[in-house]
Homo-oligomer: A and B are copies of this chain.
Amino acid sequence: MTTANQREELTIPDLEPPRLDNGSSISQQIYDYLSSNVIEGKLLPRTALSENKLCEFFSVSRQPVREALLRLSAAGLVAVYSQRGSFVRPISLSGLKRAQLIRESVEIELLRLAITHRTPEFVAKLRAELSLQKTYQEHLQIEQFYHSDENFHRIISDQSGVSGVFDALKDIKLNLDRVRHLELVTHESIGILIEQHESIFKAIRDGDRRRAERAMRNHLRRVLSELDSIVAAAPEFFEKEP
């Protein structure tokens, strides 16, 4: 059969997650597990996520599994087709453009506000996060660097005076995050990202809004400018669209 099999086999990476009863519900834990695996690229697009198979895998009933899948569907990470199956969604290129526009617009605005509200403590926090990133770079700790990168942007957002904006964009950023993971894994771009962070940092420290804005925009757009090469390196992660 030359017809491309739409549904790949279900192969969940590792063993089951620790069944910690720490307050959060089972469906929440399943959601966290699946979403982080999709974002980190461990669950490949077009992988079938059958409710029954997932029940066995997690040793729970279908109910919490189903709820987790529905949430993943709402977040755009999973496509649920009635009476056919649920599958990990490939990354949509048009969706990336959407997310990029939103993130860029908002983060630039947050940056402007953060600079007008900037304090010595704020600058110190950024400096500390930057030095952390350099440590992670030396030890090639990719996942840690990724989270520190997140933190860097979150610190700026929190300084804007409007709380929670960064978290409010979490769902929208999901597909961008998937690409950023691909970039970190397949390319050796940590050095460049740190340089860009430093440019942003210096501009903030100097209170130079225009320079900071330019540096941030340049930094955020890197994902899209590198997109072609990322798609070429890992085409199985992306939608096939004209």
Q: Chain B's nearest CB lies how many Å from the CB of A204?
A: 18
Q: Is the interface of A mostly helix, strand, loop or mixed?
A: helix
Return the CB mask of A98-111 against B: 1 if under 8 Å, else 0. Answer: 11011011101110
A163 vs B74: C-alpha distance in the bound complex, in angstroms?
A: 19
* Stoichiometry, copies per complex: 2
Return the CB mask of A141-164 against B: 1 if under 8 Å, else 0. Answer: 000000000000000000010111
Q: For residues 158 through 178 of chain A, which have their beta carbon under 8 Å from a beta carbon of chain B?
A: 160, 162-165, 168-169, 171-172
- Contacts known (A25-B82, A97-B162, A163-B94); A102 close to B71, Cβ less than 8 A: no
- Contacts known (A70-B70, A74-B71); A172 close to B168, Cβ less than 8 A: yes
A67 vs B64: C-alpha distance in the bound complex, in angstroms?
A: 11
List 10 additional contacts besides A25-B82, A95-B164, A101-B165; criterion CB under 8 Å.
Answer: A70-B70, A70-B71, A98-B162, A98-B163, A101-B106, A101-B110, A101-B162, A102-B169, A105-B106, A168-B172
Q: A residues touching B (Cβ–Cβ < 8 Å)? A: 25, 67, 70-71, 74, 82, 94-95, 97-99, 101-102, 104-106, 108-110, 160, 162-165, 168-169, 171-172
